[in-house]
Chains A and B, each alone.
Chain A
Amino acid sequence: MDKLKKTVKESLENFDKAIPDDLVRKQLEMEGVDLNEQSLSQDKFIKQLTFRLKSKSNVLKNDSMLDKASNYFKDALTKGLDRPIAYMNNLIQTNQLQTQFSRLEKMSEEQIKDIIKDQNLIEILEMLEKESEGQ
């Protein structure tokens, strides 16, 4: 970019950044903005935005935990670890899926995911980590 244009651009940016907040509010007030009303509307918006972002973040975290847990489970079942096998058998019985999965080590990660998705994933991960450490 041409040097002089860059200087003008950067100066405008720096100038704006350095304007004190109370001056910004004063300018808005001069344009007829009711600052109290504005503040209430902003509170409502910020609350909604942060709620949406936190929900999204939780969903992403849960998806990532589910991926991790199903991957660990697959590994544990392939290795024939006792506790994960017992845990999975219990889940399968609870979900009445015994006819579909007679051989646990043959289960795919997707099938494992489907079974454990509504369970306490933190508890599962802790159990799997403990099991593989004690192996």
Chain B
Amino acid sequence: MRVATTSEIIEKLNAIDIKSLLNRMELYTRDRFYDKSDRNKKGFQFQDFCQQTLTKACDGTRKWKPENCSFEKFIFWALQSDLDSFFKQLKRKGDDSDEKPQSEYIINIPNYSDEEPTEDYNYEKIDDEVKLQQWIKQLEDQGADKEEIEMFECLANGIDKPKDIADLLDKPIDVIYTISRRLRRKKIKFNEKWTSLKKQ
């Protein structure tokens, strides 16, 4: 698939509000850090992560393929990937993160189709409703409140416009957004493998 030229990237940057993109990137980055102090950022500020990612995404270090996804989507995929690497490095240096390999933060669901596995996992098919209830239980176990659960149910049902969710939950949009940020801190187990007891 074709990689965007530098001229195309310049054109794209001219067409978008870069500051707005950087602000959204910063909010995402902030949400990825539990500890907001400078302790675990190795001297970086939140916006340093965003600027580094945007630079790498524009100077060709990371390759944007326009036919594959929008520029914004690519940028967020790159940011997620850079932050993942950063946290992995921290972990290697003895960080006591409690992240488990089979669980994913809701904030952390991959969103770049190229990076997605191309084949389906060979896991048992579980009815969507059962799966949804399992995820809700997992969220509750992590302390998710009623608002977060209701919001998650909206998202799982494809209701994704902030205004629609605000109307449904009868809350202002800014409250809905705050709920979404709390929700994104929770983890759910995707693709958990079910093992038959017969094999034990």
Task: Please give the residue numbers on chain A whose beta carbons come within 8 Å of chain B beta carbons, in ascending order.
Answer: 1-5, 7-21, 23-28, 31, 33, 38-39, 41-42, 45-46, 49-50, 52-54, 56-57, 60
Near A by CB (< 8 A), chain B positions 152-189 give: 152, 154-163, 165, 173-174, 177-178, 180-181, 184
Contacts of B86 in A (CB 8 A): none
B9 within 8 A of A: yes
Output the residue of B10, B27, B120 with the most chain A CB within 10 A. B27
Whether A7 contacts B156 in the complex (CB less than 8 A), given A21-B23, A42-B18, comes out as yes
CA distance A9 to B163 in the complex (A): 18
Q: Is the CB of B10 within 8 A of A26?
A: no
Q: B53-61, B91-99, B141-149: which lies at the A interface?
A: B53-61
CA distance A110 to B73 in the complex (A): 42
Task: Please give the residue numbers on chain B whose beta carbons come within 8 Å of chain A beta carbons, in ascending order.
Answer: 5-7, 9-10, 13, 17-20, 22-24, 26-27, 30, 36, 47, 51, 54-55, 58-60, 72-73, 106, 109-111, 116-117, 120, 128, 131-132, 152, 154-163, 165, 173-174, 177-178, 180-181, 184, 190-191
Chain A: CB-nearest residue to B8: A57
Contacts of A33 in B (CB 8 A): 26
Q: Which secondary structure dominates chain A's binding surface? A: helix
Contacts of A26 in B (CB 8 A): 174
Chain A: CB-nearest residue to B113: A1
Contacts of B131 in A (CB 8 A): 4
Q: Is the CB of B18 within 8 A of A13?
A: no
CA distance A26 to B110 in the complex (A): 26
Q: Is the CB of B180 within 8 A of A15?
A: yes
Whether A52 contacts B59 in the complex (CB less than 8 A), given A4-B132, A11-B155, A12-B155, comes out as yes
CA distance A52 to B54 in the complex (A): 13
B29 to chain A, nearest CB (A): 11
Q: Which secondary structure dominates chain B's binding surface? A: helix
B198 to chain A, nearest CB (A): 24
Contacts of A31 in B (CB 8 A): 30, 36
Q: Is the CB of B160 within 8 A of A15?
A: yes
Contacts of B173 in A (CB 8 A): 20, 23
Q: State which of B13, B17, B152, B165 has its C-beta within 8 Å of the C-beta of A21.
A: B17
Whether A28 contacts B10 in the complex (CB less than 8 A), given A11-B159, A15-B161, A21-B17, comes out as no
Q: State which of A3, A15, A28, A53 has its C-beta within 8 Å of the C-beta of B162.
A: A15
CA distance A28 to B191 in the complex (A): 34
Q: Is the CB of B109 within 8 A of A49?
A: no
CA distance A21 to B26 in the complex (A): 13
Q: Is the CB of B191 within 8 A of A2?
A: yes
Contacts of B7 in A (CB 8 A): 57
Whether A12 contacts B106 in the complex (CB less than 8 A), given A24-B23, A27-B181, A49-B58, comes out as yes
Output the residue of B20, B26, B160 with the most chain A CB within 10 A. B160
Chain A: CB-nearest residue to B118: A1
Whether A25 contacts B162 in the complex (CB less than 8 A), given A8-B156, A12-B155, A15-B180, comes out as no
Q: Is the CB of A23 within 8 A of B174?
A: yes
Q: Is the CB of B54 within 8 A of A41?
A: no
Q: Is the CB of B155 within 8 A of A15?
A: yes
